[in-house]
């Protein structure tokens, strides 16, 4: 069979990894596929940098113009690694219009414009694959779309942002503050100079949006995702959580309920004895609860040149096998047949149920605890665990772990508690997920 | 598109689960697949028991004769759940000869006769799928064959026998002895009346043999698998391991080396801080080390009616999509093109390198430790950690953890140590794997 020609647009860290994987494992890939796959064109604005990555391989054409690749008649598969939603979107749509198959690692593009892209791809009968967009080297999209396809998936919860997980792991193990660990992460290259996208939950939000869609067969809609990051987390909350037997992780969570779909990213307490509570550093892990299989966990490196390239190339191999297939022979873009992808109501964060961690700063005098717990009781919220400690300045801290409650009730109770004149600062509230099956 | 007709031969726990999944999730499956899948025939020797499982569904024909199903012109896919290697093998080969696709959960059949079965299937251009044969509901075969296909896989290590893992978990947490926990496991239905197959490593051996083949593209050959079970493990070794910072797990391990393939099952010490060391009870987990992605871990239920059925049905869906495809559009049986599946030398257990845990029973007098450690040094084996304890009866126990050594050297050193007249019992030897990347 004739070789498959791949063009990479946006040749950077992952693109270089993709070229490396296809070159170094060419024999192993041919053994698997029964045909050769080769990178024949790459693009990057800065041609010197592209040359640096590609080296002396003169079988690869380097161009500054991505359009040259998506319009080239010899290219079978376009790998989009430009990032963002402007040029990347234009190029992906142009590649599709030209009848080319697409592999992308661009979570933002899919989470925000995926429906449009998949509709265009369906019209041209081409594949658009995106394993590398979620959790780097972990084959979680394949597991959700295929491996667990016998199931109704109930919920997904994932550590899907390595930067945040590194920061939280360091805050816990070293007792450091957020700002110090962020600087360390930046020095190590685990965090960007502007870390907003990672630490405020946008990146995790894009990824959980994509997983939600392939798990439940709902259109991609990042605007429905509730986002709460880790930048305001204090070291003391991580330590209190630890005392109570919990770890704090930034989780992307999505859940199918009878009345709609939850889609949210926020710091979350998890019992220490759960495997996912012990996923540290830049590693990723995704828990999936499905009706027939129960809970599975999928763990591995969530970023990096070669792990991400591993997913890009796996997608390329899937496309190669089915390059001459009909649509019904392929797994649908969002795992469900396009006409069965249906919008479900987005559930507001106020309508979720969760357990809650609260930290109150109060004056150190009798009666505060009674007032607080009676306020909780008035909102039907019961207490599972409680720590009270005197601090400096004649203040006390009360840390409360509640049983499951409706978030709306919780927030109302907190508003009342903050009205107490013995409560001197805003209440810190974090959510807790037990993950007990 | 017309519905796909499935026949289940050997309707038992997993078969009942398969029928249940296809029935209860019929809508979700049609949403995914764009066509219906239905069980139309089932077989079991005891027809009353089959009737009990199927209930009042009169769209399903029940027969005592599996051959009736594999020869029936309306059956598209045969699900083989008879088990064993006699009738099951005949029926699978007959189904293939009749041009039917096959899904099987029969690890023994594949590990021992897989090459013959796949050759027959290739000749008739039918698919034979076996996700359920390894690690129950975890989609590990799909991850190895497809999700990680960009990689050269280097090694796999898995907790792939739930019975053994339950026993080891209980021995550790309760400090109980093997025999007592086995009885408990039997009472709970986690262990068979005759538990040999599980506790002596045969079951794990079949599974690691299959994973080895799809990871490295080598023919299936269970006879090359080294087997060492858990029935002779003493509670005290689990406690000593704990003291040293390790957990004991029954692992299936396979590794590709320049000079061949390691394939082995044995109890193994793992550092407590590794995720896989914390996989307890009947759960399974498979660690995969691959050259590009690094380490991934795949965790979930390794047995049970519905988890196993989840994998059976995922295979059915894969077959449905590609039922009219050509061979080159499919993932090859053992992940590599049949003419690229090549035998590699089987590496003897004596030629592996590992760290070792040794427990010596000695007389309680000066000089023993010096004699023992000098014996190790003579065989170039260095000591990483050591515990010495006096026991009753004027004896002492010495527990040693070594650095990496060749097993042949280790065994020679042990033979010399056992020759010392102050060493009063055979030396207990266990292997340790650090799994540090």
ipTM score for this prediction: 0.97
Q: Mention the CATH class of domain A146-300.
A: alpha beta
Measured between beta carbons, the chain A residues lying within 8 angstroms of B154 are none
**Domain A4-129 adopts which CATH fold?**
Rossmann fold (3.40.50)
Residue B418 Ramachandran class (φ > 0 left, ψ -120 to 50 alpha, else beta): alpha
Touching B: A residues 124-143, CB under 8 Å: 131, 137-139, 142-143
Of B24, B31, B340, the CB nearest to A337: B31
* Distances, alpha carbon B58 to alpha carbons A167, B21, B54, in Å: 59, 17, 9
Q: Which of B36, B275, B292 should one mutate to test binding to chain A, selecting the residue with the greatest count of A CBs within 10 A?
A: B292
CB B224, CB B263: distance < 8 Å? yes
Measured between beta carbons, the chain A residues lying within 8 angstroms of B131 are 147
The pLDDT of residue B390: 84
Measured between beta carbons, the chain B residues lying within 8 angstroms of A35 are 328
* Residue B150 to residue A311, Cβ atoms within 8 A: yes
Minimal CA separation from B353 to chain A, in Å: 26
**CA separation for the pair B297, B437 (Å, rounded):** 12
* Residue B149 to residue A301, Cβ atoms within 8 A: no
The pLDDT of residue A437: 61
* Residue A137 to residue B292, Cβ atoms within 8 A: yes
CB A163, CB A190: distance < 8 Å? yes
Nearest residue of A to residue B285, measured between CA atoms: A297
* Distances, alpha carbon B305 to alpha carbons B10, B11, B88, B256, in Å: 13, 11, 19, 33
Chain segment B98-157, per-residue pLDDT in tens: 999 999 999 999 999 999 999 999 999 999 999 999 999 999 999 999 999 999 999 999
The pLDDT of residue A151: 98
The pLDDT of residue A296: 98
User: Could you tell me the CATH superfamily of domain B351-432?
Assistant: ACT domain (3.30.70.260)
Percent of chain B with pLDDT over 70: 100
Minimal CA separation from B347 to chain A, in Å: 21
And the tokens for B180? 């007592």
Of A150, A278, A331, the CB nearest to B275: A278
CB A253, CB A262: distance < 8 Å? yes
Beta strand B101-104 with B77-80 is: parallel
Measured between beta carbons, the chain B residues lying within 8 angstroms of A290 are 310
> Does A187 touch chain B if contact means CB atoms closer than 8 Å?
no
> Does B294 touch chain A if contact means CB atoms closer than 8 Å?
yes
Ranges under pLDDT 50 in chain A:
none
And the tokens for A140? 């979680």
* Distances, alpha carbon A24 to alpha carbons A39, A229, B327, B374, in Å: 12, 39, 26, 45
Closest CA to B169 of B107, B109, B248: B248
Closest CA to A24 of A255, A251, A298, A310: A310
Active site annotation includes A207:
yes
Q: Which residues pair with B102 in a beta bridge?
A: B78, B128
Measured between beta carbons, the chain B residues lying within 8 angstroms of A302 are none
Nearest residue of B to residue A295, measured between CA atoms: B300
> Does A436 touch chain B if contact means CB atoms closer than 8 Å?
no
* Residue B335 to residue A1, Cβ atoms within 8 A: no
Averaged pLDDT, B241-262? 98
Query: What letter would DSSP give residue A34?
Result: S
* Residue A328 to residue B31, Cβ atoms within 8 A: no
CB A149, CB B142: distance < 8 Å? no
Touching A: B residues 1-60, CB under 8 Å: 1, 17, 21, 24-25, 28-35
DSSP of A260-315: EEEEEEEEEEEETTSGGGG--TTEEEEEEEETTTEEEEEEEE-SSHHHHHHHHHHH
> Does B122 touch chain A if contact means CB atoms closer than 8 Å?
no
- First-last CA distance in chain A: 48
**CA separation for the pair A202, B339 (Å, rounded):** 47
Range(s) for CATH 3.30.360.10 in chain B? Answer: 140-301
The pLDDT of residue A119: 98
Residue B401 CB neighbour total at 10 angstroms:
21
The pLDDT of residue B437: 61
User: Could you tell me the CATH superfamily of domain B140-301?
Assistant: Dihydrodipicolinate Reductase; domain 2 (3.30.360.10)
Measured between beta carbons, the chain A residues lying within 8 angstroms of B313 are 149-150, 292
* Residue B314 to residue A290, Cβ atoms within 8 A: no
**Domain A349-432 adopts which CATH fold?**
Alpha-Beta Plaits (3.30.70)
Nearest residue of A to residue B137, measured between CA atoms: A293
Residue with the two structure tokens 């017309």: B2
Cβ neighbours for A361, distance < 8 A, ≥ 6 positions apart: A391, A395, A396, A397, A423, A424, A425
Closest CA to A234 of A357, A126, A144: A357
Chain segment B145-189, per-residue pLDDT in tens: 999 999 999 999 999 999 999 999 999 999 999 999 999 999 988
CB B34, CB B325: distance < 8 Å? no
* Residue A329 to residue B317, Cβ atoms within 8 A: no
Measured between beta carbons, the chain B residues lying within 8 angstroms of A325 are 325, 329
Catalytic residue among B100, B108, B142, B207: B207
Range(s) for CATH 3.40.50.720 in chain A? Answer: 4-129
* Distances, alpha carbon A413 to alpha carbons A362, A402, A429, in Å: 16, 12, 11
Averaged pLDDT, B389-410? 93
* Residue B293 to residue A279, Cβ atoms within 8 A: no
**CA separation for the pair B300, B132 (Å, rounded):** 12
DSSP of A353-411: EEEEEEEEEEESSTTHHHHHHHHHHHTT--EEEEEEEE-STTEEEEEEEE-SEEHHHHH
Averaged pLDDT, B368-378? 94
CB B13, CB B301: distance < 8 Å? no
Nearest residue of A to residue B147, measured between CA atoms: A139
Minimal CA separation from A350 to chain B, in Å: 29
CA A61 from centroid of its chain's CA atoms: 34
Chain segment B27-81, per-residue pLDDT in tens: 999 999 999 999 999 999 999 999 999 988 889 999 999 999 999 999 999 999 9
* Residue A310 to residue B297, Cβ atoms within 8 A: no
> Does B158 touch chain A if contact means CB atoms closer than 8 Å?
no
Touching A: B residues 262-291, CB under 8 Å: 275, 278-279, 290-291
Beta strand B260-271 with B246-257 is: antiparallel
Measured between beta carbons, the chain B residues lying within 8 angstroms of A344 are none
Touching A: B residues 94-113, CB under 8 Å: none
* Residue A317 to residue B138, Cβ atoms within 8 A: no
* Residue A294 to residue B309, Cβ atoms within 8 A: no
Minimal CA separation from A129 to chain B, in Å: 12
Residue with the two structure tokens 């219906």: B36
């Amino acid at each position: 069979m004739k070789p498959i020609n791949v063009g990479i647009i946006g040749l950077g860290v992952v693109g270089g990894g993709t070229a490396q994987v296809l070159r170094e494992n060419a024999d192993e890939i041919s053994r698997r596929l029964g045909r050769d796959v080769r990178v024949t064109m790459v693009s990057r604005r800065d041609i010197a940098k592209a040359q640096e990555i590609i080296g002396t391989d003169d079988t690869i054409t380097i161009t500054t113009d991505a359009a040259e690749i998506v319009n080239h008649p010899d290219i079978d598969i376009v790998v989009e690694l430009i990032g963002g939603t402007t040029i990347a979107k234009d190029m992906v749509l142009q590649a599709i219009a030209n009848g080319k198959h697409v592999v992308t690692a661009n979570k933002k593009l899919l989470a925000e414009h995926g429906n449009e892209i998949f509709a265009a791809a369906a019209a041209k009968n081409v594949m658009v694959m995106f394993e590398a967009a979620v959790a780097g080297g972990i084959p979680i999209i394949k597991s959700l779309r295929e491996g667990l396809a016998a199931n109704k998936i109930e919920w997904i919860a994932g550590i899907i942002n390595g930067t945040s997980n590194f920061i939280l792991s360091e805050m816990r193990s070293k007792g450091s503050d957020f700002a110090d660990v962020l600087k360390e992460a930046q020095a190590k290259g685990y965090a960007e100079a502007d870390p907003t996208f990672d630490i405020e939950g946008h990146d995790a939000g894009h990824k959980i949006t994509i997983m939600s869609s392939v798990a439940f067969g709902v259109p991609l809609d990042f605007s429905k995702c509730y986002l709460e990051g880790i930048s305001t987390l204090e070291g003391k909350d991580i330590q209190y959580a630890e005392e109570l037997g919990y770890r704090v992780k930034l989780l992307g969570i999505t859940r199918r309920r009878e009345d709609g779909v939850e889609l949210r990213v926020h710091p979350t307490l998890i019992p220490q004895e759960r495997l996912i509570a012990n996923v540290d550093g830049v590693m990723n892990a995704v828990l999936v609860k499905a009706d027939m299989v129960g809970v599975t966990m999928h763990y591995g490196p969530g970023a990096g040149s070669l792990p991400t390239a591993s997913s890009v190339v796996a997608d390329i191999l899937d496309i190669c096998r089915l390059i001459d297939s009909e649509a019904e022979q392929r797994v649908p873009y969002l795992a469900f047949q396009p006409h069965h992808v249906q919008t479900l109501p987005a559930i507001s964060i106020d309508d979720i149920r969760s357990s809650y961690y609260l930290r109150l700063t109060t004056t150190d005098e009798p009666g505060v605890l009674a007032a607080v717990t009676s306020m909780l009781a008035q909102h039907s919220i019961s207490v599972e665990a409680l720590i009270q400690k005197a601090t400096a300045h004649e203040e006390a801290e009360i840390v409360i772990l509640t049983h499951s409650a409706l978030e709306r009730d919780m927030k109302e109770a907190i508003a009342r508690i903050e009205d107490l004149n013995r409560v001197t600062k805003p209440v810190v509230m974090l959510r807790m997920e037990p993950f007990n099956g």
